Amino acid sequence: MLEVEALSLFYGDMQALDQVSLTVPERQITAIVGANGAGKTSLIRAIAGIHRPSSGRVRYAGQDITGWPSHRTVNLGIGQVAEGRQLFPTLTVRENLELGAAVPRARQAARRTLDDVLALFPRLAERQTQLAGTLSGGEQQMVAIGRCLMGQPDLIMFDEPSLGLAPAVVQDVFRIIRDLAARGLTLVLVEQNVRASLTLAHQAYVLETGRIVLHGTGADLLADDGVRRAYLGG
Amino acid sequence: MIAARAMGGALLLAGLAAPWLASEYVLSVLIVSLWFAYVGQAWNIMMGFAGQLSLGHAMYVGLGAYAAAGLFVFTGIGPWLGAPLAVIVAVIAGAGIGWLGFRFQVKGVYFALLTIAFAEFTRILFDHITVLGGSGGLFLPVGQRSGVDLINLRGGPVMFYYVIFVMTVAITALSWALLRTRLGYQWQAIREDAEAAEAVGVPVFRTKLLAVMLSAGLTALGGVFFAFYYNTLFPEQIFAKSRSIEMILAPIIGGMGTVLGPLVGALLLTPLGELTMAVIAGLGVTNAGVRQVVFGVLLILVLWFLPQGVWPWLTQRWAKGRRQ
């Protein structure tokens, strides 16, 4: 569904991605793991069109979308839940959600999608008029996921969805991710919680200083000695 | 909300009745107050709603004023055609600055510096456009003060008062409506977090550009009013940096990003400035800078105690009062 081919990205002189190639199959969870600064967020942003790659190709559903601006990639059905949730703090929960339907593909059915999202997150239904900045971390993550769903994506890229959340809430977030996969969405999961994301993922890539160094099924990588040493503490 | 509505209704009624109640002096103060409210609203769309700081809005006032006044002086064509011309000129200028800034990722303070630079270029440019009087100024033929000629906008203070009153009510209504459109939400999203707005698919570049263009065009209409009310235009004066600053005080003190903030700010500030001048004159002090000092101190006090501005503070107080 999504193919990334030899993608390189520079921030000034610093190379963030070096010839990254990967394939994200439809209706599967693809995990991308790696240390801080390995280039995981850069990869998501380059795919989404927030950063412009210096070379390489991004193909989505057979179409070359390399360097497309994000309002066009989102309109194609590529959603993302950014690291740190990135809500609009002085807008209400409902306004945040409605902003998720900014792209043309989502506008027509925005009302119905909103009902779906509120049914999925009953906690948000109760807090619709509350300012997003006043919510708890877990609730904010639900708004972020809900806002992404408002754009009616076929593919969602999650950037560190469990970062900074209480353990019980982390469980909720992973359950939601599993539910979304069960609904037939294609997911890319960037996570510092390597064990959880490899357990969940059909396949995974290991990113090190901007390069893909390992690729396999989630189970393979969980059993891999190098991965265990580097990311799972033995 | 109820407080806002009550406040709005009271202001509207008082505004309509003002010419019958006020002396000519008070009326002239009200005209200036409403003018600052109007241009404050126009600036607020760009900064308060979309979060793009402009410190060069005097440029749009000047461009609008010169466009309409030039047309009137040389062809006799009145402001009803001069105003669209003024808007077009200012929108093109705004689009140029916005395009340069946003295309090359000039953000925040640096974007503000860009707006100052362009306002200064324009001031110097107009100093040298001899057709329009250059630094010697452009003068409109002064009409009958007693008559009311709405076609050519020639008339007395009462006419000008109602014109600026209607303009201010209209731009306030426009602001209210804009905040409730998709465009308004997208502006706020960009203001809150441009990166997040980009991530959800808001076309950030285009949306920011629209804010600048709309703000510039509306500000130019303020310039048209300025030209026909004062009848004299000097580049040194109309494009002055100090005007750009004075224009943004009302929305900052009243409450940026709110619909009534710029109005409340202007209705507080301008009369206060006049009062200060009167007191100073009464004390026999003849220092021209005292008003600016008073404004400066006031700005510091408001930002210190009411960082959100007067209007948000008032609505919060009312909301609290109702709950108790």
A133: its two tokens: 């900045």
- In which band, very low, low, confident or very high, does the pLDDT at B206 lie, cut at 50, 70 and 90? very high
Distance from A28 to chain B by nearest Cα, in Å? 22
Mean pLDDT, all residues of chain B: 91
- Asked if the C-beta of B236 comes within 8 angstroms of chain A's C-beta atoms, the answer is no
Residue spans per domain, chain A = 1-77+154-168+181-234, 86-153
Q: Which residue has the tokens 């707006």?
A: B115
Predicted pLDDT at A182: 94
B307 interface with A at CB cutoff 8 Å? no
| Distance from C-alpha of A48 to C-alpha of A30, rounded to nearest angstrom | 16
Contact of B275 with chain A, judged by CB distance below 8 Å, is answered with no
The model's pLDDT over A127-164, given as tens digits with 9 standing for 90+, comes to 999 999 999 999 999 999 999 999 999 999 999 998 88
- Inter-residue contact B139 to B133 (CB < 8 Å): yes
C-alpha count within 13 angstroms, C-beta hemisphere, residue B138 = 27
pLDDT of residue B1: 63
Per-residue confidence (pLDDT) for residue B89, from 0 to 100 = 98
Cβ pairs bridging A and B (under 8 Å)? 64
More confident residue, B14 or B186: B186
Beta bridge partners of A89: none
Question: Residue B196 is nearest to which of A69, A75, A82, comparing CB atoms?
Answer: A82
Residue B324: pLDDT over 70: no
Q: According to the model, what pLDDT value does residue A226 have?
A: 86
Who contacts B245 (Cβ-Cβ below 8 Å, separation ≥6)? B55
Please give the residue of chain A at the shortest CA–CA distance from B183: A102
Q: Is the ipTM of this complex over 0.90?
A: no
**Alpha-helical segments (H) within B22-132:** 24-44, 58-75, 79-103, 108-127
Q: What are the tens digits of pLDDT across the range A77-99?
A: 999 998 887 899 999 999 999 99
| Best to test chain B binding among A74, A87, A99, A117 (most B CBs inside 10 Å) | A99
Residue ranges making up the domain that contains B13: 2-323
Which residues of chain A have a CB within 8 Å of the CB of B204?
A: 71
- pTM for this predicted structure: 0.90
- pLDDT at B141 > cutoff 90: no
| CA–CA dist B213, A108 (Å, integer) | 28
Tokens of A16: 């963030």
For B268-294, the pLDDT digits (tens) are 998 888 888 888 888 877 666 777 787
Q: What is the pLDDT of residue B147?
A: 74
CATH superfamily of A1-77+154-168+181-234: P-loop containing nucleotide triphosphate hydrolases (3.40.50.300)
Angle of helix B204-230 relative to helix B182-192, nearest 10 degrees?
100
Count Cβ atoms within 10 A of the Cβ of residue B274 and give its class: 0-12 exposed, 13-18 middle, 19 or more buried. Answer: middle
Inter-CA distances, A126 with A118, A122, A170, A179, Å? 9, 7, 21, 22
- Using CB atoms within 10 Å of the CB of residue A7, give its burial: 0 to 12 exposed, 13 to 18 middle, 19+ buried: buried
Number of domains chain B contains = 1
Query: DSSP state, B114?
Result: H
